[in-house]
Structure 1
Amino acid sequence: MAHTDRRSQRDDYDELYNGFRWQVPDEFNIAEVCCARWAGDDGRIAVYYEDDQGYSGTLTYAELQRQANRLSNVLQARGARRGDRIAIILPQRVETAVAHIACHQIGAVAMPMSILFGPDALEYRLQNSEAVVAIVDQAAAAALQEIRAQCPALREVIAVDCALPGALDWAEEMQSALEHFMPVRTRHSDPAVLIYTSGTTGAPKGALIPHAAIIGNLTGFVASQNWFPQDGDVFWSPADWAWTGGLMDALLPTLYFGKPIVGYRGRFSADTAFALLEKYGVTNTFLFPTALKMMMKAFPAPRDRFKLKLRAIMSAGEAVGDAVFNWCETALGVTPNEMFGQTEMNYIVGNSARRWPAKPGSMGRPYPGHLVAVIDDEGNRAKPGEIGEVAIRRTDIHGHPDPIFFLGYWRNPEATQAKYTGDWCRTGDLASMDEDGYLWYQGRADDMFKAAGYRIGPSEIENCLVKHPSVANAAVVPKPDAERGALVKAYVVLVAGTARSPEDDARLVRELQEHVRGKLAPYEYPKEIEFIEELPMTTTGKVQRRILRLREQERAQAD
């Protein structure tokens, strides 16, 4: 699709944004809106699930409610009460959805944690949160068992599909529990979820999120999914349900609208992704740019091989870049809607190809209900085109409270206070805003660096590198240099099957440097390129440039 075609697309943005008003009931609970209100329809499907061993099944909303009632009774019988933290250390499986609904029904705080966490990561979060119950399956059972004795607040462990000494058996407890439960009543401002940030600087912080936050998410979710829900919509995302991206951008909003979501327990691959999209007739998805790059490299023309029903793709976590953007449009027939948000205030900026035109490479515009700006260190708004920090105001354009906000960092008022400048909540991400209100991502504040006096943002260079047919992924960081302060260095993951020898590598380095030099500013091309088997990634699919920066600093100090 040509740029001129996009400019002629429908643009309802001003009307949608200016006319939007929040409606947040005083009494509100995630369990009621995401399950109970749909449970009377016996045939309504909540979850399609399968794993990498070929096991598959279907869960209706009625069955989800019955199981959640049983677990609510189990939790209460074991002493869990309103406000208690309950750790959910599970992958994408039915029991994960059941656990979340059950927690909210008793007024407890659901604390999802990744099955990829090692013992130290689990111990810190369990100790810091003083979680009283942990629900775990075989994926993280050993790690949890190793540190359980160091978590005195943890009274009970419930083991799913695995034998664990000193733990309750999920199946046995559920079988003997009553199927009727009377949910507690909660206010919209009551705490619902505790998610620990990935801790790129300092120890991870627990972001305490209220029930109302799901309402705050909805304008962005609906818009980025091209006006979800529609008849026949089916959602799938590989995003881990333990993280904001999987929980608040996929699982809960899909259940909020009473639609089915696909849960897959297994490792992500391009083959698996397309197989799931085809098998379940997936219409809506959230795919990280890293996942889209893998899919693009593996299947340049996917519709020649797979029958797809995709009508919306949301992407977030990193900049998509125009290489992936154009592939989505031409090869998948879907304009990707980029989105930006954080655990603390999620789904605040993005696109909606159905209602306003996207600018390739842009993060999009503030979603209705959110007053977002680019600000300087003093909290003043930057001029169009100037780089500053993305921030969101506590109130919308009408002066009404925005329900998107977290309540604060768990038992860390200093960090909560530092997040704000007046009424502006800072994201730590840099961007510029153009005259049309579109934001252009410039990287994390600590990802930007200067080389020979020039300000370098890594994402543009990485996007350029990925356009080369031999490059699967790339990360750009500063390499300390006595003369220039820093050199631009690229870590590059090559496409599988790329010829490798000292001569091949030297030729490819020159080729990639010329590739970037010919497309970007001369000072942006990587003076050094290092080939690497895989980039360090967070469990949410973001490249950890910080690790690569530290590697370069350590090497420089050793020289």
Structure 2
Amino acid sequence: MLSISDTPASPPCPAPFNLAAYVLDGSGAADDKIALAVLALSGAERWSFGKLRAAALGTGAGLLEAGLKPGDRVLIRLGNTVDFPLAFLGAIAAGLVPVPTSSQLTAVEAEKLAQVIQPAAVLQAPDVPAPTGDWRSIAQDDLRAMRDLDPVRPVLGDPDREAYIIFTSGTSGVPRAVRHAHRVVWARRMMWRGWYDLHSTDRLLHAGAFNWSFTLGTGLLDPWACGATALIPQDGTDPRALPLLLKRHDATLLAAAPGVYRKLLTGDTPLSLPKLRHGLCAGEKLPEALRSKWQETTGTGLYEAYGQTEISTFISSCPATPAPAGTLGLPQPGRRVAIVDDSGQPVPLGTEGTIAIHRHDPGLMLGYLDAPEETQAKFRGDWFLTGDQGTMDESGAITYLGRDDDLMNAGGFRVSPLEVEHALAHLDGIHEIAVTDVEIKADVRVIAAFYVADTELDEAALTAAAGEILARYKQPRLWVRLDSLPRNPNGKLRRKALALPEDR
């Protein structure tokens, strides 16, 4: 038997189609139903489906009135506020191509992305670092004024046309611009059953920021498309307040990275969550001990999903099909997934290979922007290669065995070590530098920088310098001086040989 899961295909995306129009329809939800509640300890800011739709489509109309044209790219530099999804959906409704980015990026990092996509405009919040180049800017206050304009009529068309671009770390150290089609949001329906167990009656609290792609998809777009209510903690909310917010606002689902669940289980606040049905996690591998402790403490399940920027999640567990111990779970119903060898051929069950998904999956990217050769290199025959290694058992469950490259995982963000090394190589006193992620305690990994210098360098100064040029999640948490970097006989860096002193 070969390692291939081939469930019946999901219904095709209807045509003509517009991602934003589909999401904002709320699966026919009443205009006065609450679509979004932004939570604070003192109360909540509530948005009905009718208000959300009007504000997003008004924003789309305003962007066109500002002189932007369908097909133009707009770089989103907005913070952890509702402005972010309104701009994203408004732009797509108007036929523009939004490019969401993390507000944690420095001005230098934002400029690098702008140079790649050449935006017609930057949607800019005053407290978010702006790209350093001479780009046209549309201020956050101007975006907010657009909400009251007559709504734009969503631009309908081929579901395969480009809808938005999102960046992911490349193994070369240069971020890749991933082009996604309108159909991708329709493909996410496979997660409703295969991961979330999502219903229109649910109230899903996502613990991440508005401007994180995990929050945008799982925390906002999917609940809205289903007609459910999204709950997002207000920017700056203390994570220790999450148990109270979950209980006070009758959350039925919680979505977060594994680190959030770990903090909830070690906090001082009792976890009394009477309405919670279960938790969802993604972004990094869920430790089995953490899953068990959550179940024991709350009496609810914790369900993991695996995916990438290029495809989102496509392997998961859910209440109907919990993951066998030690596995990621099963391919979601409607997905065609395999474990393949270097030539793209499915390997026998139980044999290690590369986790792959069929090239015609409706959730798969259109490709990398202006990089046809790099795009083609990700495919072998009918399969898109994730770069992650795994095995498949007789039930179809997939066990994750790690990556075949050096990408690091920093709190759910994949980060290229080459990008970090390039940014830090010029720091005073450093002759050579290499970075990797290291385990500092059970199931906790951080980025560590190993450098060669004449003397031990001031760690506070190094950290401050890194903060000027790298987003917080890319910055090393540990600095280790070495006499030399580990290399093979040909002089190539042996990154896997980098280790903290106590581990050598």
Q: Same fold (TM over 0.5)?
A: yes
Structure 2 equivalent of residue 371 of structure 1: 336
* Superposed counterparts of 1:414-493, under 5 Å: 414-447=373-406, 465-466=442-443, 473-474=444-445
User: Could you tell me which residue of structure 1 aligns to residue 497 of structure 2?
Assistant: none
- Return the alpha-carbon distance in structure 1 between the equivalents of residues 447 and 136 of structure 2: 45
- Indicate how the Cα distance of structure 1 residues 554 and 230 shifts in structure 2: closer, same or farther if over 3 A, else same: farther
For the pair 1:321 / 2:287, whether they are aligned, the reply is yes
Out of 67, 75, 100, the position equivalent to 1:87 is 75
Is 1:45 the counterpart of 2:57? The answer is no
How far does the alpha carbon of each residue in 1:105-129 deviate from its partner, in whole angstroms, 9 at most, with x for none? 1111121111111011111112211
- 1:284/1:313 contact within 8 Å kept: yes
Matched, 1:159 2:140: yes
Which one has a larger percent strand, Structure 1 or Structure 2? 2
1:63 equivalent in alignment to 2:42: no
Q: 1:66 to 1:372 in 2, by over 3 A?
A: same
| Separation in 2, partners of 1:81, 1:48 | 32
- Partners in 2 of 1:378 and 1:187 — Cα distance? 33
Q: How does 1:53-132 map to 2 (within 5 A)?
A: 56-132=44-120
What SS is found at the alignment partner of 2:70?
Answer: coil
Contact 2:78 2:140 survives alignment (8 Å): no
Secondary structure of the residue aligned to 2:313 is coil
In the superposition, relative to structure 1, how do residues 121 and 111 fare at CA in structure 2: closer, same or farther (>3 Å)? same
**More contact order relative to length (CA 8 Å, sep ≥ 6):** 2
Cα distance, 1:257–1:463 mapped onto 2, change above 3 Å: farther
> 1: CA distance between counterparts of 2:407 and 2:98?
35
Aligned match of 1:302: 270
CA distance in 1, matches of 2:29, 2:190: 26
Confirm or deny: 8 A CA contact 1:39 1:62 kept in the other structure.
no
Which structure has the larger Rg over C-alpha atoms?
A: 1
- The yes-or-no answer on 1:348 pairing with 2:318 is no
How many Å apart are 1:479 and its aligned residue? 9.7
Cα shift at 1:464: 8.4
Residue 198 (structure 1) aligns with: 169
- Distance of 2:204 and 2:299 partners within structure 1: 17
Tell me how far apart the structure 2 counterparts of residues 90 and 444 of structure 1 sit (CA, whole Å): 32
8 Å CA contact 1:48–1:56 kept in 2: the answer is: yes
- 1:127-138 matches, within 5 Å, as 127-138=115-126
Distance 1:171 1:547 in 2: 37
**Which of the residues 153, 156, 160 maps onto 1:182?**
153
Q: Where does residue 255 of structure 2 map in the other structure?
A: 286
Question: What percent identity do the matched residue pairs reach?
Answer: 24
Alpha-carbon distance in 1 for matches of 2:362, 2:382:
14
- Partner in structure 2 of residue 454 of structure 1: none
Candidates 24, 35, 40, aligned match of 1:35: 24
Question: Which TM-score applies when normalising by structure 1?
Answer: 0.71
In 1, the alpha carbon distance for the partners of 2:76 and 2:358 equals 32
TM-score, L = length of structure 2: 0.78
Q: Does 1:25 align with 2:14?
A: yes
Give 5+ residue unaligned stretches, structure 2: 409-437, 452-462, 488-500
Question: Please, which of 172, 175, 189 is the counterpart of residue 218 of structure 1?
Answer: 189
Return the letter of the residue paired with 2:137: E
Q: What SS does the corresponding residue of 1:35 show, helix, strand or coil?
A: helix
- Structure 1 partner of 2:421: none
CA positional deviation for 1:548: 8.4
Q: Which runs of 5+ in 1 are unaligned?
A: 1-13, 161-168, 395-400, 450-460, 467-472, 481-531
Partner of 2:323: 358
Q: CA deviation at 1:255?
A: 0.9
> How many residue pairs align between the two structures?
440
Distance 1:440 1:420 in 2: 21
Give the whole-Å Cα distance in 1 for the aligned partners of 2:471 and 2:263: 16
Post-superposition offset of 1:68: 1.9
Q: What is the RMSD computed on CA atoms of the aligned residues?
A: 3.4
How many Å separate the matches in 1 of 2:277 and 2:127?
Answer: 33
The 1-side partners of 2:235 and 2:482 are apart by 36
The answer to which of 357-366 and 18-27 deviates more is 18-27
Contact map agreement 1:88 1:112 (CA 8 A) in 2: yes
Secondary structure at the residue paired with 1:348?
strand
Structure-2 residue corresponding to 1:497: none
Structure 1 pair 476–192 and aligned structure 2 pair: CA distance change class (3 A): closer
**1:291 Cα deviation after fit:** 1.4
Is the partner of 2:190 in helix, strand or coil? helix
Match of 1:338 in 2: 304
Deviations 1:432-473 (A, max 9, x none): 222221111122223599xxxxxxxxxxx969825xxxxxx3
Specify the code of the residue in structure 1 equivalent to 2:121: V
1:18 to partner: Cα distance: 3.5
